[in-house]
A and B are shown apart, each in its own frame.
Chain A
Amino acid sequence: MTEGDTIQQARAGQAAAWETLVQAHQESVFRLAYLLLGDAGEADDAAQETFIRAYRHLDQFDVARSLRPWLLGITAHVARNRRRSLGRYVYHITRMARLTPPAVIDPEQETAKHADAAALWQAIRRLDPDHQEIIYLRFFLELSVDETAETLGIAAGTVKSRLSRALDKLRHVVHHEFPMLRRAADE
Chain B
Amino acid sequence: MSERPVRPQAEDHWERTVQETARHLVYPPTPDIASRLRGRRVGAPRRKWRVALAFLLACAVVTLTVPQVQAFVLEIIRIGAIRVFLVEPTATPTRSPVSTRPPLPTPVRFASVLDMPGETTFARAQAVMNNRIKLPTYPPDLGAPDRVFLLSQEVPLVTLIWMKPDDPPSVRLSLEVIENSIAGTKMYPADGQPQEVSVNEKRALWLPTLHELHYYGMGEEITRLVTTPVLVWQAADGSLTYRLEADIPLEEAITIAESQPSP
Contacts and interface: CB of A to CB of B under 8 A. Distances in A.
Interface in A72-120: 81-82, 84-87, 89-90, 94, 97-98, 105-106, 109, 111, 113-114, 116-118, 120
Interface string B20-50: 0111111110111110111010111111100
Contacts of A29: 33
A117 B22 contact: yes
A11 B31 contact: no
Contact of B10 (A41, A85, A121, A187): A187
Contact of B26 (A47, A114, A135): A114
A128 interface: no
Contact of B18 (A30, A41, A59, A139): A139
Given A30-B30, A48-B36, A114-B24, A84 B44 contact: no
A85 B117 contact: yes
Interface stretch (A62-70, A149-157, A162-170): A162-170
A97 B127 contact: yes
Contacts of A142: 19
A168 B151 CA distance: 36
Interface residues of A, number: 68
A187 B13 contact: yes
Contacts of B127: 41, 94, 97-98
B8 to A, nearest CB: 11
A187 B20 CA distance: 15
Given A34-B27, A84-B218, A49 B119 contact: yes
Given A90-B156, A120-B18, A59 B46 contact: yes
A23 interface: yes
B118 A139 contact: no
A26 B22 contact: no
B30 A27 contact: yes
B154 A84 contact: no
B128 interface: yes
A55 B19 CA distance: 32
A59 B45 contact: yes
B124 A45 contact: yes
A178 B184 CA distance: 41
Interface in B123-159: 124, 127-128, 151-156
A84 B26 contact: no
SS class, residues of chain A in contact with chain B? helix
Of B6, B28, B44, B118, most buried by chain A (CB within 10 Å of CB) is B28
A94 B42 contact: no
B11 interface: yes
A16 to B, nearest CB: 10
Given A19-B38, A56-B46, A167-B15, 11 more contacts: A15-B38, A19-B34, A34-B27, A60-B48, A97-B127, A113-B24, A120-B21, A139-B22, A170-B18, A181-B21, A186-B3
Interface of B: 1, 3-4, 6, 10-11, 13-15, 17-19, 21-28, 30-34, 36-38, 40, 42-48, 117-121, 124, 127-128, 151-156, 218-219
22 contacts: A22-B37, A23-B34, A30-B27, A34-B27, A44-B33, A48-B33, A48-B36, A51-B37, A59-B46, A81-B117, A81-B118, A84-B219, A86-B152, A87-B154, A87-B155, A89-B154, A111-B24, A120-B25, A139-B19, A139-B22, A170-B18, A172-B3
